Amino acid sequence: MTPAASPARRPAAAESRKRSTLVWIAAVLAPVAGALLIAAAFGVATVRNDSMSPTLHSGDTVVFDRWSTPVRGDVVLLVDREGWSGTADTLLVKRVVGVAGDVVACCEAGSGRLLVNGGPLDEPYATEERPGGDISFRVTVPEGAVWVMGDNRAESADSRLSVSGPGRGAVALEALRGTVRLWWGG
């Protein structure tokens, strides 16, 4: 006959099983919860044209975050609500040139560079002879919006195309899908 388990051992064994079960559940659920958080915070997209050349090219893959507010110089993904692409609600990739309160103007005499708040914008990625483009404008970016342009100004349909519209070319922050954080060639 085996001796009965002592009352002190029975609760310790039950506690050990309970702890093991909780560890197992945490080991299974933690990676799933982490993956869900990452999927909610980040997205992946493919560039479909060369309006961001030389920075990005058609076929490149970008990883973007969905939570940060972009600053001047960031590359963003946005929903084309202005019809710049010719297809409603297309996802576009552009660079933020101006944020709320900025005065963006084209262009500095002589150099053709964009002016932001009266000063020329240094854009080493814009390689054209007139890096600000050929469309003259002067806009103040409203609250809750950004002004965007492609790096390849000659091939980019961007804020400049809507400068005479009600929003003066500004893109509402709600139309942004995220800020690009990483990319690689396709």
pLDDT in tens, 99-114: 999 999 998 888 889 9
Please state the separation of Cα 161 from the chain's center in Å. Answer: 21
Tell me what pLDDT residue 5 has: 53
Give the model's confidence band at 21: pLDDT under 50 very low, under 70 low, under 90 confident, else very high: confident
pLDDT in tens, 84-97: 988 878 889 999 99
Least confident residue range of 6-15, 65-74, 139-148, 170-179: 6-15
- Point out the residues that are catalytic: 51, 94
Over the Cα atoms of the chain, what is R_g?
A: 26
